[in-house]
Amino acid sequence: MPRPHEDLQHHTLTDHSPGGPPIALALGSWWAIEVGHVAADRADAAIASYETLIEKARSSSTKGGDGLILCSHNHRRVIALLRLEGHDGFRRLASAWDEHHLVAQRHAIAESRSLLLYRLSRAEGDATIDPASSEALAFEQVRIGAETVADLAGAFAGAPGFRGAFVFGPDDDGYTSIVYHFAHLPEIEAFRATAHAERILGPAAKAADSFYSVHAMKTFGGS
């Protein structure tokens, strides 16, 4: 069933039905990732808002490419990912999204939000995300240095239930974003709890606020 549409600016034709095609994430591609912290009863409105923003970006001078919206199981985090051409596209996107959020603020769709530019530095295993899949996804943001990313990628090998993982390196010295793709959620949690993974991820691996089990709500583009 389509979600409620809350475009407060000019209307953009947007398909608000969930789902979409499988999305392949290419190594080295640039991605804007915004994490919205929302009240649980505003998650659907936030998803609809990000759907419209992504469609606008894909049809504008921002030249957005494939997109993806994730929602945490507790409906407190909505995460939008959009492939861009690089820094120029990100500057245009950030300006447009800031303007949109300023207008939307009176409706309190998001309690807080963070929009950052990343490059997909590692892609392990299956390089696609399919919203029709019943396998488990999780999203994490953690401060780890570039030199530890290779160690993390190596730790995935042989992990029970592992299907794929995407490690997005920050454009500055900020948070690394990770999308985990395993057969079942307990296998993701078990992987993060291993001594090796904890040593790589550091103390943040135990912080519930840095890690969310998620559903892929909507994809844009694909093959």
Identify residue 78 by its one-letter amino acid code.
Answer: V
pLDDT band at 205 (very low <50, low <70, confident <90, very high): low
> Is residue 3 within 8 Å of 41, Cβ to Cβ?
no
Which residues, at least 6 apart from 57, have a Cβ–Cβ distance to it below 8 Å?
A: 64, 67, 82, 93, 96
Q: Give pLDDT, residue 146.
A: 65
* Beta strand pairing call for 176-182 and 77-84: unpaired
For residue 222, pLDDT over 90 is answered with: no
> Is residue 5 within 8 Å of 92, Cβ to Cβ?
no
pLDDT band at 9 (very low <50, low <70, confident <90, very high): very low
Rg of the chain's alpha carbons, rounded to an integer?
A: 17
- Give the mean pLDDT of 189-213: 75
User: What percentage of the chain exceeds 90 in pLDDT?
Assistant: 43
Identify residue 62 by its one-letter amino acid code.
Answer: T
9 or 213, which is more confident: 213
Quote the CA–CA distance of 181 and 164 in Å, as a whole number. Answer: 5
Q: Please state the pTM of the whole predicted model.
A: 0.85
Quote the tokens at residue 33. Answer: 């990732």
For residue 1, pLDDT over 70 is answered with: no
- pLDDT, tens digit, 9 for 90 and up, residues 42-95: 899 889 989 988 998 888 767 779 999 999 999 999 999 999 988 888 998 988
User: Residue 63 region, left (φ>0) first, then alpha (ψ -120 to 50), else beta?
Assistant: left
Q: Give pLDDT, residue 6.
A: 43
pLDDT band at 5 (very low <50, low <70, confident <90, very high): very low
Identify residue 99 by its one-letter amino acid code.
Answer: E
Domain ranges of the chain: 28-220
CATH top-level class of 28-220: alpha beta
